[in-house]
Structure 1
Amino acid sequence: MPRQEDATQLLDRLANDPQYDLAETLRAIIGWLRPPDPDNIAPVIARIEDLVLALGDRPELREHLRDRLEQGLEDARHLTLYTGIGLFSRKGFFREAAELLYERINPRPMDRADLRDVLYHVFHDPKDAIWVARLPDDAWSRLLQALGCLSGEHPGVLQRAREEALYALEMLSIWIAAEELEPELLRLDPSIAERNSAFVAQEREISAYVRDYRLWLEDPDYERVDDRHARVLLEQCKEQIDRLRRRAITHGNSLSLTHLMERLDQTLARIHKLLDLLEPNSGDEPRQAAVGVFRDLVTISARSHGVRALWQDNIRLVSRSVTQHVSDTGEHYITRDRSEYFQMLRSGAGAGLIIAVMALIKIQVEALGLSEGWNTLWVSLNYGLGFVLIHILHFTVATKQPAMTAARLAAAIEETERGTADPSKLADLLMRVGRSQFAAVLGNVGVALPTAILIGLFASSLFSAPVLSSHEIDYLMDSLRPIMGLALFFAAIAGVWLFVSGLIAGFFDNRCAYLDLPGRLREHPLLRRLLPEASRHRLADWIGYNYGALIGNFLFGVLLGVTGFVGYLLNLPLDIQHVAFASANLGYVTASEAPGLLLFGLFLVFVLLIGAVNLWVSFGLALYVALRARGVRMGAFGRVFRAYGRHLRKRPREFLFPPRTAPTSDGGPGDETDAR
């Protein structure tokens, strides 16, 4: 369609061609309004104004166009518009994706009597979702009023719309009531099957509301029941869904359960929208509600033209089901006061001690001259079993923290967006996260480095030979160089694996809770014969608490071990650099060939740079996924960082060292009278 066509020419074309029905008329108008750049809505607003003026100058054409649109709206089916668009399907992701792909290849013919198909036909460009969402409500209101869609002068259209909205309202309410019989929900909370549950109560109230509303339509003098009690019950349903989400963290989640609860949320929101539409009071509020619903439906319909939107929505659900557990775990990696801070320091020191030994084992394994496959196997086992041992002994690998703490920070940001927290508290949380990670890094590096030096000196004295050959010294020193040795690139790879291991741990923790693995182990027939009851229960509780962490730590070690082998297969320079192992390697180099103080200091800085990349890559990826999973807006960060700056200026010492006691509930500092 030529872009040079003005509003008058558009109206002439619509008036003179008898083939234009409801669908084609709206498609032509939206095609004329559609901007070349979906991010720039200024041309759309200008064209709407031109169209409004052109319709005002030609009242006879405006009436003709209004009659055509109103006749189409009166004859069309509205139900699927309210119950089909914007609500997750009960078919599941894979079946729905297959159907969407088939529709792209062999689309079914459009049903011109179905408003859902008409909307899909009119807003056929996937980019329509962008500019439609950006266009303000008043612009849509002016357009719809100019076309006569909000005039209320055609009683048949209003009657049809009300009847369809009432029927949709009743059907959606029944869907919610029926969901309480879902086994997934009953597993989380068997009490929802009680006769007086909120799900069933809202259906009864909505049914009474619909019945009274229809009687009121027949007799305007009939005293109609308002929707206030129905909205209260809908809020109770929302609260019940929130409780189920919290229970899912401890009882286990699944994609189908997350999908179900998201669908319940969508259905409740749609019922609220329909109640807004059905508000019979005169004034601007019903019209504003109609414009808002129209824009929402158009945006969702435009997004549904491909599999991408479906994929994004379901990936978000998968991410949320995993990161919920990671967020809960992340709270344990954040220190609040000095006792917890020193505990984190001791925990990091213990891990540094073991990592120094693991680094030596890796050096000795690689010195054996094994084939690439066998070398990868033993190095992976060294990493994996070593990290498992660190976890069993309750020690902390510093770079394991970000994947956990980022999810906790995202949860707090989500609370801020919902109005239950404030930037000051988030800044305090961010301060505690950074301070906790510093303590763990200090413990790891501060112990791994001197322990490696001592082990190297002891071995040199015992065997009268340095622990490293000159070739190994050169190799380890070169591998620590940030740019020439690709150390920062390899550190980024390790950061990715740290992030992945956090997701793995969250997935298996969630799976353990979902399957009730401790309960199964307590009653396992074989274990009942082998172990007494008390031992069996202790074993079940221990596995239940550590299941995800054990698998996540072991697979993290495997990922570190196989990276070099993948590089060997692909003939690419792939390896990993981890701050604790890098500090241990520097220690063994120092013990074998004492470098000068300046050179040692330089390479220590290189080690710290490796640690920074480890931390920020894993933290950034984890925070990004957690934010996307929770659908959190990014706007809160500016306020949070400003509050963080104020916190840092007021109490700079807390950047690296905590107060004696934890902050009070209002986010202020605790008692620091003895903080000297």
Structure 2
Amino acid sequence: MAGQRWDLTALLNAADPNAPAVERHLWMVRLLEWLRSVPAEPAAEVASPVPAPVPATVELASPPAAEPQPQAAPGNSPTPWPLRRLRHLLNVLDRNPEHRERISVLLQRSMAGLDATGLLADFGFSPRQGFFSELAERLRLATLPGTPQTQDLGELFLLLFEDDEAETAWIEAIDDQTLHRTLALFVPDADARPWRAVMVESIQLLASQFRASGLSAEMRQRMDPALRTDRPFHQVVQAAEGLRASLRELQHDADNAQAMQALAQQAHYLRAVLAACLTAADSVRGHLDDYGISVDLVFQINQLRGRAERMEALLACLMGNDAAPDLRRLLAELVRAGIERRGIGKLFTRHYALLARKVTERSADTGEHYITRDSAEYRDMLRMAAGGGAVIGLTTMVKFVLTALALPAFWAGFSAGTNYAISFVVIYLMHWTVATKQPAMTAPSLARRLEGISSSDAALQRFVDEVAHLLRSQFAGIVGNLSAVAPVVLGLQILSWLTFGAPLIGQAQAHYALHSTSLLGPTALYAAFTGVLLFASSLIAGWAENWFVFHRLDSAIAWNPRFIQRLGAARALRWSRWWRDNIAGVTANVSLGMMLGLVPALAGIFGLPIEVRHVTLSTGQIFAALGTLGWPLLNEPGFWWCIAGIPITGLLNLGVSFALAFRLAMVSQGLKLRDRGRIYAALRQRWREAPHSFFKPSKPPG
């Protein structure tokens, strides 16, 4: 049957309870594959003649498609195909006791040789506490094949069930009668619940891991002390031990009502202790909200909650009146755990959600300073942007000087990045601004205004107002930057002509600047890529501030004895406050400058034709070229193609960075824009009624 799907006849003939363990495991994998497989023509599926040793009288000719399919209730989906095949298999085995006996012995021997705690206690959980070690483990599971040659039921479980949500769907659809018939193949007497011992052992293992995680230094230091007074994480292991002792008494005398009552009391006690532990663990999230997010800590909290839920599921199987529903839920939960265990994207989505929220919240706090809401703030924005444009003019000329040095690729990129970084930091410290940095900072602030727009017209109006304020601020920033950078660059060129009789840059550099910034080239593509870097700088800034706050570096600067000895108490406190207030701004500017310089250089080393196009820097280069080539350049079409590229570059710089930042803000805060039509209609109405509000502030009434 190599290279082909096994049919039922072949599976029944291949079932050998005396085969080596790895062959029995492989048979189980093939059985699950047969359950999931759907014939191309179900109605035409006919069992092939049964070869020896199956007697010729064995009836295998009733395919699942021939069985009357249960009619789905209104609104319910039809019976899943794997469930129909499972029922067919059970019917065939009921008609053929010899086959039933062989398969039952095979399954029982296989389960007896497997470590069930590997599935019940370990499966779905990381063996280590770190997020990145778990990422490496999931990469291994996703790239390396598994083997049925194992004694760990958890490892075999990954081969038995596929990484597909459809697996849980058909398992949850199994009715109690079919489940009891299936259980009878694995255990002679399901009512005796022989799995209780291994489940209690698994609960003990889970409790030990649960306590170790809950009492780790990172968790313990951030819990509410009042919730640790009763030491719930110490009690959880004691409760699990008590559960095991009660089970031993019940196993000695299955009819002992007192022992059964003691087991129920221990289960209730364990549930109460778990609830207290989770309450204490949840208090860590409040600390993280106030003092910064740690991905590893968020990961530990989720692992802690997952182990508690697994213990709850095992307790339900131990104590329930009917084992079938609880076992079905447990099996479905294990399949989900296997799907998530192999999902790298889900790991990032879950464990970076809080970090992304904290990054965008900190960016939103910074972004409030970049939004103008009245005429005074608008004039301040023009002034701040003009100051930033003047500095960028000087930066442009320094860039040409560095380029003339003809440094090796990496050092040329490093020197250019350092030039940009110093300029951006100077602009920041002078409380000026660079327009292209605004969108990535202001988008999270805008996302805050999305709350309540679905049910409130007032909230919708506030959101439209904020969009107008934001666009107006961007417009003022660009106008201020460009209105200053061009005169500064031309002024420096004219001064050089008057002083030295020559421009600051040569004609070759001038022609290259015009060629590289022309709209006829890849300027638009590079401008969009620059928007990605602008967004990345805001993300880095938010992460750096979160890291600074989480590790309490402001407190260390203020109170560390060495700092106090060298700086003095008053100066150390001032430094602490300054870095706490400015770590995000400094990091954003330094990272943006270094990326603008280094990313093209590193890409060139690998042969990737990637460059950056920043609207203010590009404008400075164009006017520097004009200062070298003279006024006749105004008659050249190529010059005007460069001028035409300025608004396109600005639009893509702003648009891409804003779109990425706004999307992250919505995702991280759990915001869903369900009423897009109302928003677009409100924006169109504002454009028709007051288009000037998007470009300049309205005059106050009266």
- Give CA-to-partner distance per residue, 1:102-151, whole Å, 9 cap, x none: 99999898444x4224324534xxxx213655744445569963861389
Please point out which of 386, 392, 406 is paired with 1:371: 406
How far the C-alpha of 1:485 sits from its partner, in A, is: 2.4
Partner AA of 1:19 in structure 2: A
Q: 1:544 to 1:73 in 2, by over 3 A?
A: same
User: For residue 157 of structure 2, what is the amino acid of its counterpart?
Assistant: L
Deviation of 1:9 (Å): 1.6
Identify which range, 280-289 or 598-607, moves more after superposition: 598-607
> Structure 2 stretches of 5 or more lacking a match?
40-76
Structure 1 CA distance for aligned equivalents of residues 596 and 616 of structure 2: 13
Partners of 2:466 and 2:289 lie apart in 1 by 22
* 1:327 corresponds to 2:360: yes
1:186 aligns with 220
Give SS of 1:491's match: helix
Q: Which residue of 2 aligns with 1:289?
A: 329
Match of 2:182 among 124, 135, 148: 148
Q: Deviations for 1:414-472, whole angstroms, at most 9, x for unmatched residues?
A: xx9xxxx8866998898688556524422321101222344356557766778887766
TM-score for the superposition, normalised by structure 2 = 0.72
Equivalent residues in 2 for 1:352-501, closer than 5 Å: 352-367=386-401, 369-372=404-407, 376=413, 378-404=415-441, 435=468, 437-455=470-488, 458=491, 474-482=511-519, 484-501=520-537
Cα 1:508/1:145, change in 2 over 3 Å: same
Alpha-carbon distance change, 253 to 404 in structure 1, aligned in 2, over 3 angstroms: same
In structure 2, what is the Cα distance between the partners aligned to 1:144 and 1:656? Answer: 70
Are residues 1:172 and 2:174 paired? Answer: no
CA distance in 2, matches of 1:403, 1:253: 20
Contact 2:107 2:186 in 1 (8 A): no
Compared with structure 1, are the counterparts of its residues 99 and 530 closer, same or farther at alpha carbon in structure 2 (3 Å cutoff)? Answer: closer
* Residue number among 278, 302, 306 corresponding to 1:266 in the alignment: 306
1:590-646 Cα offsets, whole Å, 9 max, x none, are: 887495999999766633332343345445656777899x697xxx75626356446
- Which residue is 1:159 aligned to? 193
Larger RCO of the pair (alpha carbons < 8 Å, separation 6+): 1
TM-aligned CA deviation for residue 481 of structure 1: 3.1
**Partner Cα distance (1:480, 1:256) in 2:** 45
Residue equivalent to 2:32: 30
Deviation at 1:390, TM superposition (A): 2.7
User: What's the offset of the Cα at 1:17?
Assistant: 7.2
String of CA shifts for 1:264-303, please: whole Å, max 9, x gaps: 23223323433444451449752542342242244356x3
Once structures 1 and 2 are overlaid, which stretch shifts more, 438-447 or 602-611? 602-611
Q: Is the 8 A contact 1:400 1:498 kept in 2?
A: yes
Max Rg structure: 2
Compared with structure 1, are the counterparts of its residues 247 and 324 closer, same or farther at alpha carbon in structure 2 (3 Å cutoff)? farther
Match status 1:606 vs 2:645: yes
Q: Kindly tell me: are residues 175 and 17 of structure 1, through their superposed partners in 2, closer, same or farther at Cα, counting changes over 3 Å?
A: closer
1: distance between equivalents of 2:395 and 2:193? 80
Out of 529, 533, 549, which is 2:585 matched to?
549
- The one-letter code sitting in structure 2 at the alignment partner of 1:87 is F
Which residue of structure 2 lines up, in the alignment, with residue 86 of structure 1?
A: 124
1:59 matched to 2:89? The reply is no
Equivalent-residue separation in structure 2 for 1:283 and 1:17 (angstroms): 27
**SS at 1:381 equivalent:** helix
Question: Which 5+ residue runs of structure 1 have no aligned equivalent?
Answer: 304-308, 659-671
Q: From 676, 681, 690, give the equivalent of 1:641.
A: 676
TM-score of the pair, normalised by structure 1: 0.75
Q: How much does 1:318 deviate?
A: 7.8
- Verify: 1:13 aligned to 2:13, yes or no: yes
Q: Compared with structure 1, are the counterparts of its residues 32 and 256 closer, same or farther at alpha carbon in structure 2 (3 Å cutoff)?
A: same
**C-alpha distance in 2 between matches for 1:268 and 1:55:** 35
Cα–Cα, structure 1 residues 528 and 467, in superposed 2: closer, same or farther, change >3 Å? same
Q: Distance in 2 between matches of 1:60 and 1:631?
A: 58
Distance 1:271-1:106 versus aligned 2 partners, 3 A rule: closer
For 2:30, give the aligned amino acid. A
Decide whether the 8 Å contact of 1:424 with 1:640 is kept in 2. no
Q: 1:283 to 1:398 in 2, by over 3 A?
A: farther
Question: SS at 2:195's partner residue?
Answer: helix
Q: What's the offset of the Cα at 1:350?
A: 1.2
- The CA deviation at 1:356 is 3.5
Q: How far off its partner does 1:86 sit?
A: 0.7
C-alpha spacing 1:264/1:377, structure 2 compared with 1 (3 Å): same
Which digits, 9 at most, give the CA deviation of each residue in 1:32-63, with x for residues without a partner?
245599xxxx9994354244235325514474
TM-aligned CA deviation for residue 577 of structure 1: 0.9
Query: For residues 666 and 149 of structure 2, what CA distance do their matches in structure 1 show?
Result: 38
Instruction: Provide the aligned C-alpha RMSD in A.
Output: 5.2
Contact 2:295/2:355, CA 8 A, preserved across alignment: no
User: Residues 553 and 170 (structure 1 numbering): CA distance in 2 closer, same or farther, change over 3 Å?
Assistant: same
Bigger mean CA deviation after superposition, 98-107 or 20-29 = 98-107
* Helix, strand or coil at the partner of 1:90: coil
> For the structure 1 residues 495 and 565, does the alpha-carbon distance in structure 2 shift closer, same or farther, using more than 3 Å as the test?
same
Tell me, yes or no, if the aligned pair for 1:345 and 1:439 is still in contact at 8 Å.
Answer: no
Q: CA deviation at 1:497?
A: 2.4
Cα distance in 2 for residues equivalent to 1:269 and 1:438: 48
Aligned-pair CA distance for 1:362: 1.8
What amino acid does structure 2 have at the position aligned with 1:355? G
